[in-house]
Amino acid sequence: MGVPDLTGQVALVTGAARGQGRSHCLALAAAGADVAALDVCRDLPVPAYPLATRAELDAVVAEIEAMGRGALPLEADVRDPAAVEAAVAETVERFGRLDIVVNNAAIVTSAPFWELSEEQWGAVIDTNLSGVWRVSRAAAPHVRRSPRGRIVNIASTGGVRGFGEFAHYVAAKHGVVGLTKAMAIELAEDRVTVNAIAPGAVDSPMLAGLADELGLTPDEVHKRWLHDQLLIEVIPPEEVTGALMWLLSDAARHVTGHCLAVDGGALAH
Ligand SMILES: NC(=O)c1ccc[n+]([C@@H]2O[C@H](COP(=O)([O-])OP(=O)(O)OC[C@H]3O[C@@H](n4cnc5c(N)ncnc54)[C@H](O)[C@@H]3O)[C@@H](O)[C@H]2O)c1
């Protein structure tokens, strides 16, 4: 019951080309879904670390197709309303439906709030919070028609508690948790569930990119971000995917408006 059979369903994953998004795409395909894999596939002025490439997105698509599932690469920026609308339209045109949305794309930078530039603040809020709303807005008419529509938003422990030197990220992720609850209320009459996942420190290019940007060693990353996790290892992306798959399963049919922490106990304090 805790493992979903997604045969015949269509999922859209943002930030799909690498890290957690890639892991989510592969698990969705393994569970039987066709997958529209969206990523910006280019570097942006914010953040300073590199974002995913088109080659990485194509590799994910090839892995999905190798499992015998349909895969659609979508090169789009979640900050761009027209690109998001077009990506959702292309998904529905290709697969005929859209059942599942995983809002995973995000960026991070770090500085005390008084040192953040307008550009850093704007980029993080626009990508991490408005992007979730924008993709969900475009997808809603289709997901509402699904017999088992699901939206899962990837938040962060920073969506539930504060962290110094991440004010914009924390504000955006708190927004994601609030947006999740509001969307859950509005979509309940269509029996669409909307949930969030709050990962702790996950082994991904984001964490590596941030460490590089700040000139930190892996040990220093552990000290700075993992001291609050009761289980101090960096969390593999597959464990976040495990929570996602449970939220998509029949066992979670009545779980909605919830934020599920996969955080090594960081929120236990
Ligand atoms: N890595 C961590 O420690 C950690 C902790 C808590 C939460 N998270 C969250 O997990 C999610 C996945 O992050 P990750 O760790 O896999 O990082 P990542 O950097 O590897 O993946 C993010 C993906 O989003 C894409 N992306 C960035 N901006 C985009 C845009 N404007 N439009 C479309 N795509 C865009 C990137 O190209 C990249 O492929 C994010 O929501 C992140 O905030 C990560």
Report the pocket of ligand 1 as residue ranges, CB < 6 Å.
14-15, 17-21, 39-40, 51-52, 77-79, 104-107, 127, 154, 156, 199, 201-202, 204-207
Q: Whose CA is nearest to atom 19 of ligand 1?
A: 206
In 3D space, the residue among 73, 89, 86 whose CA is nearest the CA of residue 40 turns out to be: 73
All domains of the chain in start order, with CATH = 10-199+236-261 (3.40.50.720)
* 139-165 mean pLDDT: 97
Cα–Cα distance for residue pair 39/148, rounded to 1 Å: 25
Ligand 1 center to 240 CA (angstroms): 13
pLDDT digit string, tens, across residues 33-64: 999 999 999 999 999 999 999 999 999 999 99
pTM over 0.95: yes
249 vs 172: CA distance, rounded Å:
27
Please state the rounded mean pLDDT for residues 165-185.
98
